[in-house]
A and B are shown apart, each in its own frame.
Chain A
Amino acid sequence: MITSTLRRVLLVAKHASFQSRCCVASSRVQYSTVYDSNEKTFDKILIANRGEIACRVMKTCKKMGIKTVAVHSDVDASAVHVKMADEAVCVGPAPTNKSYLNMDAIMDAIRKTGSQAVHPGYGFLSENKEFAKRLAAEDVVFIGPDTHAIHAMGDKIESKLLAKAANVNVIPGFDGVVENVEDAVKIAGDIGYPVMIKASAGGGGKGMRIAWNDDETREGFRLSSQEAASSFGDDRLLIEKFVDNPRHIEIQVLADKHGNALWLNERECSIQRRNQKVVEEAPSTFLDPETRRAMGEQAVQLAKAVHYSSAGTVEFLVDSNKNFYFLEMNTRLQVEHPITECITGLDLVQQMIRVAKGFPLLHKQEDIPINGWAIESRVYAEDPYKSFGLPSIGRLSQYQEPINLPKVRVDSGIQEGSDISIYYDPMISKLVTYGATRAEALQRMEAALDNYVIRGVTHNIPLLREIITHPRFISGDITTNFLPEEYPEGFKGHQLTSEGRRELVATAAALYVSNWCWNIECSNEMTLWPPWQVEVDGVTVEVSGEWNLASALLPVTINRTPRVLQCLSRDAGGDITLQYLGTQFKVRVLSQLVSTLSAHMPEKVPEDTSSILRSPMPGSVVAVSVKPGDVVAEGQEICVIEAMKMQNSLIAAKAAKVKSVHCKAGETVGEGDLLVQLE
């Protein structure tokens, strides 16, 4: 027991250390590339993007002594990328087609600011040949490949033909545009199910559907063409054989305008949901040096065949026998480029800028190392309990990146107070950890996820942490079907072991009691100090920690194991929400008296949800397929909600008559809004 005077002294010390921790410089990637100030590239670059990638590009520009210009929509006026830039120009209202895709406004911004070059980031105009052409017409350098390469690789049909010609392995499939639904069914039949329907102009999983039979082909064709039209303004689709149990492994290439091309090793991107990557790593556990070289060389062959310059990515599907098939080439900087930077030491943005200016590559293929292991988790504002992640929106009321930990890199474009809106991608950040070995990188990822404070929006850290600690993931035995295979019933959060349950319960109880002690402290000289010995189900658990009830993080030592939990909420009724091993658990701590009396409390009857359809996410209503009085079958589509450019078909949970419809096409709805009521 410590007297209260001494406690006050301790408290002061605690605050002091809290303050100083905020000042610790973040550890960042050590690039091996030298920023040669004599190598003159550009004076001013406009970054035609937003969010983390805009910030990422600006960081390198700053190192290279290049002035930066940000473009932004009106809602992004106070965004991080705007604050970070030397100049900023508003290019229109929130919807992307009126701002970040608004070429006229961006061209104006380039002229107005006198920018010599444009870095397009990824998405938006990064693979838009029209944009590249317009830049060329005004003598502004596009930091990326030539229009010709964008055009050739941007079209999935043409890119396949080119790859074939360049002796790159390709997947069997139909090499042409699908005319209509019946055509699609016929082609699918010829190739043999399962087939993949995808947008010819697509990327990033948008406009992609897998079909296992004729009906799914019809539905997939319809949804994909709608999505393709709204996302890319081009509804052409193609169909190809769907490789079962594949891995998605991609090769980073870097080429200059002098015919030199390098492959910068691979990235393993098999952990996906709905064809969008979630966790990536470099290198892959699966490739042996021969396969790696074979893939690298084919990737370089393709790059050379299209006279590629700048950074690009050749995506392959790899089957269990290490046969690899060309999937597509992304003619831009990829989202997951940081892991390649970690293991090779190259700053890809710097290389892109150099190449765009016409400098030759300084590296030879044999200079490209694999130093250690890097893992990237994409932290999204998403609810992982709904189909592995449906977008959520909100304001980041508290936000703290774990950059005080060693060998952690966080690429983000938001900060505390930022809004995650329905207009843009719900990505919060890319959390990258690296180490000498994969195990080290994984261990750091665990710690980084535990120390990541995100409040105000639902996020996918529960899922990320489960993936990176999953025995199958740790063993490296993964495919693109990892998530549906491991969580066939959907992701349900961390499943507690009996020991985990004891730890959680003990921590919650200790937290409750210390809070209770603080409350009575004002009138009572009784002082209580950890460690707490908590008896749970007959087993004693020791919990200790220097607790600051105001801090978002709760570092504790449980049975001598240090852990970082987060206390998300506490209330007077004893309800405590703890983030433990990534997942949020609601624990109710009751005194014996309350527990006994709780038996008398009435059960509150929850709303019957089978007859009401609520919007699972914020978004806009694309179509409503029913009207009051209609009879719907179980599983029948009721309406389609579009959020973050993804169309989600909502279906009836039971056969019933439609009682009332509360939404109409074109309307914006919030999460949980009542859409349709059944009888």
Chain B
Amino acid sequence: MAAFAVARSRCVLLSGLKASFKTFGQVKHGAASAAVAQSELQQQSRRWYSVSHLSVQERIDRKRNAALIGGGQKRIDAQHKRGKLTARERVELLLDKDSFVECDMFVEHRCSDFGMEEDHNKFAGDSVVTGQGRINGRLVYVFSQDFTVFGGSLSGAHAQKICKIMDQAMMVGAPVIGLNDSGGARIQEGVESLAGYADIFLRNVMASGVVPQISLIMGPCAGGAVYSPALTDFTFMVKDTSYLFITGPDVVKSVTNEDVTQEELGGAKTHTAVSGVAHRAFENDIDALLNLRNFFNFLPLSNQDPAPVTECHDPSDRLVPGLDTIVPFETTKAYDMLDIIQGITDEREFFEIMPNYAKNIVVGFARMNGRTVGIVGNQPKVASGCLDINSSVKGARFVRFCDAFNIPILTFVDVPGFLPGTSQEYGGIIRHGAKLLFAFAEATVPKITIITRKAYGGAYDVMSSKHLRGDVNYAWPSAEVAVMGAKGAVQIIFRGKSNQAEQEAEYVEKFANPFPAAVRGFVDDIIVPSTTRKRICRDLEVLASKKQTNPWKKHANIPL
């Protein structure tokens, strides 16, 4: 609107920045998408001992070249037109330049029904690209489904390729990243395809807690196929071009008579905000892959690997003066927990997981003095930061990931309790809340807890309290560790009595402060908020050598 047009800061989009750097000439990435492994394809060695009229070398070259263009140029163009990149382009973007080592380029499907055995229906490598490479120099196994070959559908061979790299990843201890873009099962192969899914599922389960597994949904992913991403540690999606659902809109219409679009049923928005199936969504393929590279930097390679430590530019003893005033005087007034988190982390960086789902709890990764940490914080800005079903499950899953992969957990507590009400009780808040309790209690990684304000009732116990083996538990001067807020407490203790205002004041004086917890040793110290970063960095240094084991068991029985 002309009257108050928003003049944004200038947006300079450099689509073709050409920067060359004298000190380091290799910065320029190769431009051609089909440049992979071409250097080996020298034509000079023609040896004529083959029985075929073509030399083996020529056949190799031919197959390799065929594999590089997948389903052919027409389908590649169609893929691009949909705003999607090809399987190989994605791998190239995800991995360091020239680091991809492909595996099973010559594998073909084995189906012989419905004319599938004909030559023009055989594609070198079938509908998935697999191999290993490096992200910022660190090893990773990757599979990237190729939508240009039979819509990326999963054949027995396709599954076998995925299983092969997963087995290897487990063996050497490196994460697995899946780039999903598949129409589903290869119907022509029938049960073989289903078996393939199951083979992958089994490996997903076996690898769970051994190596990090990440799924990036970059196209459709429907039916049984959805369970592989669901079993992995993190599922990311691309906005507008990716979908996850058990059954598509047509089947939904015929079964439940609901009219729903693909996007509404299983788009990125649905899964990141409503269902909690996906952990984050990105604008497009490129954005997603570059962010995935960034995310990967936080993760250890396996459960045998310590959390990665990078060189840190941010002084570990930096004071954060803004934290001294962040908690408002009125206990009912909200503030943004993200302000605290960004204030203390290295370079204010925080990779939030599930930012749009169960926003009353904040979880994500950051670094403290270069060391990866997982951060869990109640968010007073949303629903007063209470714990409900969704936030408990979100928190629990994150805590368990950190514990499985040696990532220390920082917990910021400002929780008024569990959310009351029939919908919560009928939904099983008891069972779901127990998951978060379980996760914090069983975790043996370094656990540092900071109570910024409220820590009421059972929720206090749950949030990585001293009683659940918290290693270092701090309170800010604004902390109130109590069974409940003053008003409610006074109504119970002095039921029916007059001068409740006076009693309330007494209760506030007694309990609405950090002392009751501090005198009992339930918090180790009451700290000045601006020194929080300094204290945590120092504690993490000390706790780096923490060793704690749970009693032997086949596995625990978390209340699912």
Q: A: which residues have CB within 8 A of B?
A: 1, 8, 11, 15, 18-19, 74, 77-78, 383, 385-387, 390, 395-399, 415-418, 462, 490-494, 496, 501, 504-506, 509, 513, 518-524, 526, 528-529, 532-536, 548-551, 571-574, 577, 583-602, 604, 609-610, 613, 616, 635, 648-653
**In the complex, B287 has a CB within 8 A of chain A:** yes
Contact across chains for B15 and A396 when beta carbons are under 8 A apart: no
| Contact A417 to B324, CB < 8 A, known contacts A585-B10, A595-B17, A597-B85 | yes
Contacts of B6 in A (CB 8 A): 383, 385-386, 616
Contact across chains for A584 and B21 when beta carbons are under 8 A apart: no
Contact across chains for B315 and A509 when beta carbons are under 8 A apart: no
**In the complex, B493 has a CB within 8 A of chain A:** no
Contact across chains for B1 and A491 when beta carbons are under 8 A apart: no
Cα of A387 to Cα of B92 in the assembled complex, Å: 47
| Contact A490 to B5, CB < 8 A, known contacts A523-B138, A550-B313, A602-B83 | yes
Q: What is the distance, in angstroms, from A88's C-beta to the closest C-beta of chain B?
A: 13
Q: What is the distance, in angstroms, from B262's C-beta to the closest C-beta of chain A?
A: 16
Contacts of B19 in A (CB 8 A): 506, 509, 513, 534-536, 589
**In the complex, B321 has a CB within 8 A of chain A:** yes
Contact across chains for A573 and B12 when beta carbons are under 8 A apart: no
Q: What is the distance, in angstroms, from B558's C-beta to the closest C-beta of chain A?
A: 33
Interface of B is mostly: loop
Contacts of A528 in B (CB 8 A): 21, 23-24
| Contact A417 to B291, CB < 8 A, known contacts A584-B9, A589-B14, A596-B31 | no
Contacts of A518 in B (CB 8 A): 310-311, 313
Q: What is the distance, in angstroms, from A601's C-beta to the closest C-beta of chain B?
A: 4
Q: What is the distance, in angstroms, from B549's C-beta to the closest C-beta of chain A?
A: 29
Q: B: which residues have CB within 8 A of A?
A: 1-24, 27-31, 33, 80, 83-85, 89, 92-93, 96-97, 134, 136-138, 240-241, 283-287, 290-291, 293-295, 297, 308-315, 321-326, 329-330, 336, 339, 342-343, 346-347
Contact across chains for B12 and A587 when beta carbons are under 8 A apart: yes
Contact across chains for B314 and A550 when beta carbons are under 8 A apart: yes
Q: Which residue of A lies closest to B319 (CB)?
A: A22
Cα of A34 to Cα of B258 in the assembled complex, Å: 84
Contact across chains for A415 and B321 when beta carbons are under 8 A apart: yes
Contacts of B8 in A (CB 8 A): 385
Contacts of B92 in A (CB 8 A): 593
Contacts of B18 in A (CB 8 A): 535-536, 592
Cα of A252 to Cα of B336 in the assembled complex, Å: 45
Q: What is the distance, in angstroms, from A570's C-beta to the closest C-beta of chain B?
A: 9
Q: Which residue of B lies closest to A617 (CB)?
A: B4
Q: Which residue of B lies closest to A418 (CB)?
A: B325
Contacts of A586 in B (CB 8 A): 9-13
Contacts of A574 in B (CB 8 A): 290
| Contact A549 to B12, CB < 8 A, known contacts A573-B286, A601-B286 | no
Contacts of A506 in B (CB 8 A): 19
Contact across chains for B322 and A397 when beta carbons are under 8 A apart: yes
Contact across chains for A583 and B322 when beta carbons are under 8 A apart: no
Q: What is the distance, in angstroms, from B10's C-beta to the closest C-beta of chain A?
A: 5
Q: List 13 extra interface pairs beyond A549-B347, A595-B17, CB under 8 A.
A: A11-B311, A77-B329, A385-B8, A416-B322, A520-B136, A550-B313, A584-B10, A585-B10, A597-B89, A601-B83, A601-B284, A601-B285, A604-B283
Q: Which residue of B lies closest to A387 (CB)?
A: B4
Contacts of B240 in A (CB 8 A): 602, 604
Contact across chains for B9 and A493 when beta carbons are under 8 A apart: yes
* Residue of B14, B329, B330 contacting most chain A CB atoms (<10 Å): B14
Task: Name the one of A78, A533, A583 contacting B10, with C-beta atoms under 8 angstroms.
Answer: A583
Q: 17 interchain pairs (CB within 8 A)?
A: A11-B311, A18-B315, A77-B329, A399-B322, A518-B310, A522-B309, A523-B138, A588-B13, A590-B17, A593-B31, A594-B93, A598-B286, A602-B83, A602-B240, A613-B1, A616-B4, A650-B1
Contact across chains for A594 and B23 when beta carbons are under 8 A apart: no
Contact across chains for B3 and A651 when beta carbons are under 8 A apart: yes
Q: What is the distance, in angstroms, from B267's C-beta to the closest C-beta of chain A?
A: 14
| Contact A523 to B10, CB < 8 A, known contacts A589-B17, A593-B93 | no
* Residue of B1, B2, B285 contacting most chain A CB atoms (<10 Å): B1
